[in-house]
Structure 1
Amino acid sequence: MKMFRALIVLAFALASHAFAGPAISSLASVDQLNPPGFELAVESGYLLGFINSPHSYEIGAEFLTGRVRWGVMDRDDWLRGYNQFYLSAIAEPIFRGIENHYFGFNFGLRYNFLPRGSRFIPYVSGGLGLGWIDSHASIPGAQGQDFTFNILSAIGVSYRLNAHWKLNAGALYQHLSNGGQTDPNPSLNLLGPQVGATYSF
């Protein structure tokens, strides 16, 4: 356990050094409400199945996401922040479960809270999408067809390393279903941690 903690600390230290760039020189610059117009993020999660599946799913959730700023809320309370809409490409190896992989897209909205004088940026997001899974309809509890819809929601916090780079960590929920196109319509509900890195242009 001590070795694991040491490795985590070392990883964050190396990431901070690798992502070195134009520094945020003061709290005044942190306070400026001038969010980036476009961001590109790489995120990874480990999701566990829960609720209604008879199988103990374990899925790796890999995302490549583009985000575009859409509106700023310059307020003096905790709602100060900005909106983004995003488009994610999804690739998910299924480590444990009936199927083997899932590929898809998700489109949604994200809100970033900007507390004054802080590099930490809490966020919430949610979106809808579609994708394809290698279904096995003849197995009870498996997905009924390849084509599925997906719902994603996330909550977490980003940390600004400098003017361009952010690291983030949070929790991700994912729902997969074919929307009743098969009967029965087995669905997947997945929940787990997610980490990532974001570059702001």
Structure 2
Amino acid sequence: MKLRVAMIIIASALARAPFAFGGTDRSANSSIGISDEPSRFDFAIESAYLFGAFNPPRNYEISADFLTARVRWGNYLHREGLFRGYNQVYFSFLAEPIIRGIENHYFGMNLGLRYNFVRPGSRFVPYFSGGVGLGAIDSHPEQFGGQGQDFTFNILSAAGVSYQFSDRFSGQVGLLYQHFSNAGLTDPNPSLNLFGPQVGFTFSF
């Protein structure tokens, strides 16, 4: 409960910030300078609290914790307009205690792409990411609605905004979607679909 309250407070605070694509951010004129050149490597600690949807007969709540490495791949800062920004390839390790549901825990990995939308002079960087991966869940196929086997595939998709405190350190808040499935390797294959808020902190170098 405390984690959920903290996430709601952080999300509400950043939601009031002027991170729309148009305009400039006045906080960019503070005493700490921000480079126009994005970092080559990022290391992030991310946490989300996810709620199940379309998962009868049991409701699910999962605390999803990620360790993520990102590498810059493609730089489009010469562009004008909405799509000015840069790509990153990311790799995440997933550790997810299942707070409510049939199973108890999930461990996995995910590989994907992230695009960062950069405005000149702004500390706010909206982003979108998506990836696929695999992992293991402590399945209980004997229970109705439980996962059919331990091995699963996963899909992640996220959108949010990052705030650069400095060239080396930033914080993120956004929304995360996660899907678990064994791709029909067992029958039934109930799958899981989960949505929820996500926060994170990134160290760049």
**TM-score (ref. length: structure 1):** 0.86
Task: Establish whether residue 163 from structure 1 lines up as the match of residue 163 from structure 2.
Answer: no
Query: Given residue 65 of structure 2, which amino acid in structure 1 is its aligned partner?
Result: E
Aligned residue pairs total 183
Contact 2:108 2:133 in 1 (8 A): yes
Task: Establish whether residue 76 from structure 1 lines up as the match of residue 80 from structure 2.
Answer: yes
Task: Establish whether residue 62 from structure 1 lines up as the match of residue 65 from structure 2.
Answer: yes
| TM alignment of 1:31-180, pairs within 5 A | 32=36, 34-73=37-76, 74-180=78-184
Contact 2:35 2:167 in 1 (8 A): no
Contact 1:31 1:118 in 2 (8 A): no
Corresponding residue number in structure 1 for 2:185:
181
SS in structure 2 opposite 1:127? strand
Partners of 1:40 and 1:71 in 2: CA distance = 18
Partners of 1:153 and 1:53 in 2: CA distance = 22
For structure 2, which runs of at least 5 residues remain unmatched after alignment?
14-27
Residues 37-96 of structure 1 deviation map (CA, whole Å, 9 limit, x = unaligned): 100000000000002332110000000000000000121111100000000000000000
Shift of 1:26: 6.2
Contact 1:58 1:95 in 2 (8 A): yes
Shift of 1:137: 0.3
Cα 1:129–1:189 shift into 2, 3 Å: same
Corresponding residue number in structure 1 for 2:24:
none
Sequence identity percentage: 61
Query: Given residue 76 of structure 1, which amino acid in structure 2 is its aligned partner?
Result: E
**TM-score (ref. length: structure 2):** 0.84
Contact 1:175 1:190 in 2 (8 A): yes
| Structural RMSD (CA) | 2.2
Shift of 1:163: 1.0
Contact 1:31 1:116 in 2 (8 A): no
Give the stretch that moved more between structures: 48-57 or 159-168: 48-57
Partners of 1:45 and 1:52 in 2: CA distance = 19
Query: Given residue 129 of structure 2, which amino acid in structure 1 is its aligned partner?
Result: S
Contact 1:59 1:93 in 2 (8 A): yes
Partners of 1:138 and 1:131 in 2: CA distance = 20
Partners of 1:36 and 1:123 in 2: CA distance = 15
Runs of 4 or more consecutive aligned structure 1 residues displaced over 4 Å after TM superposition:
24-27
Query: Given residue 54 of structure 1, which amino acid in structure 2 is its aligned partner?
Result: P
